[in-house]
Amino acid sequence: MMSRKKIKSALISVYYKDNLEKIVTTLRKHGVAIYSTGGTYDFIKNIAEVRSVESLTGYPSILGGRVKTLHPKIFGGILSRRDNSSDKEDLAKYEIPEIDLIIVDLYPFSETLASGASHDEIVEKIDIGGISLIRAAAKNYTDTLIVSSRKQYPALLELLESKNGATELEDRIRYAADAFETTTTYDREISDYFASLLNKEKFSLNVSPANKLRYGENPHQKGVFYGKLDEIFTQLHGKEISYNNLLDIDAAFALIGDFAETTYAIIKHNNACGCASDNNPLEAWKKALAGDPISAFGGIIITNSPVDLQVAEEINKLFFEIILAPGYSDEALNILKSKKNRIILDVKTNSRQQKQFRSILNGVLVQDIDNISEDISYLKQVTKKAPTDREISDLLFANKLVKHSKSNTIVLVKDKQLLASGVGQTSRVDALKQAIEKAKNFGFSLSGAVMASDAFFPFPDCVEIASKEGITSVIHPGGSVRDQESVDFCDSADISMAITGYRHFKH
């Protein structure tokens, strides 16, 4: 089997004609005979010599264009095995020409769906002939090259020029693999649409490209990220992003997305070890770092504010792995680049998937992401004493943090600064004790602070402990059959309490 094969004939059938002219002129330059149909034929005939599919098959386009290329004279020419004597006899008997190159650009199904088009319009954008052409050409990769997307045009032009209108087996395998990925994605989108018409729960995923990581969570584990990170941020500096980096980056994105005011957060092992909001970016950074300057070492910094020189000078005093921000001044960037391996990411968008999924046992768990970010309208006062305006501001701030911390978790906040948190504990009391000890270790007074919990208090023990430390207001989801016991204690201790009605477990 010869690896290199000269392209002698091509069939072109595309929806979008953008950048097609250069492909056509290059093919003709290399003496390639071109077949086409419909609008593509009309486009090409003004550029170069082209033969219509209809003149080859002897059948016109029928059913309003639904059937154009579905014919043995087309698929026989694509699927024929060039080294198979029986196939050669069939081609000769039925006067079927070999077709060496197929260029297809499928009907824009997903774009039509996203446009809000009617059901009938969506269905008409389900490509039949194009999908069939792609699969046939990809199956016969030993003899046929399949170009399944207009995104491949630049690479195709380079291939044609560098190999003088020929292809190698390796080229054809690579394009065939891309083709089957194209058909898989296309069919999945259609399948998902029809499942939605039946309100049918269905899990399917096809994400590319694959980005091989140095390793997974630990060096003995393989790791790959599937997706397009460059749609989310641009890496301006630093080493390759690791598996664990990506987990922290995702946690950082989720957290910062709930804050509108200028905020800095420091993430360590998917939890915030420092966070503060302040109209002054420098103050926001200093307060965030003060929350836990020890854990901040080697952490990930994220902000929703552009980084200027003044802030960069302070940040640069800390050893950290990654910083994410929606822009940097030139002076700030020069300072932050002083460490060779430091990863600097310029954030383009904070859009995230609306579903979360994880492999478990012999299947997959899927859920909606936790999109609830409570504002004042969610708060229900349950104690005699109402929280002050400052306490309400702190309660909402703390509740955002508790939502993004590992359960069981307690968060302590004052003046929109994270004083301490207890995370990932098997009891809520342990989480509170951890937070209190941590706050004291860093010299914080808890007098006048607020407390947030990711779930209800099954007993009044947490509010009893909080009262002894001077905490004056509490927020939690509520929902325990013994809620009133915590409320009664708060009333006796002159503590205000609000419930939200929304639990924020995170495991």
Q: Which of 88, 139, 163, 339 is catalytic?
A: 139
Q: Which of 17, 269, 339, 440 is catalytic?
A: 269
Sign of torsion over alpha carbons 370, 375, 378, 384? positive
DSSP 270: T
Asked if residue 292 lies in contact with residue 420, where contact means CB atoms within 8 angstroms, the answer is yes
Q: For helices 129-139 and 72-79, give the axis angle rounded to 10 degrees.
A: 30
68 is catalytic: no
Asked if residue 271 lies in contact with residue 254, where contact means CB atoms within 8 angstroms, the answer is no
Q: Could you give the residue ranges of the DSSP H alpha helices within 198-350?
A: 243-256, 281-290, 309-315, 330-336
Each residue of 290-326: b (16+ CB within 10 Å) or e? bbbeebbeebbbbbbbbbeeebbeebbeeebbbbbbb
Work out the number of other CB atoms within 10 angstroms of the CB of residue 165.
18
Geometric angle at alpha carbon 461, from 457 and 466, rounded to 5°: 95
269 is catalytic: yes
Asked if residue 304 lies in contact with residue 256, where contact means CB atoms within 8 angstroms, the answer is yes
Distance in angstroms (rounded) separating the CA atoms of residues 359 and 357: 7
Catalytic positions are 139, 269
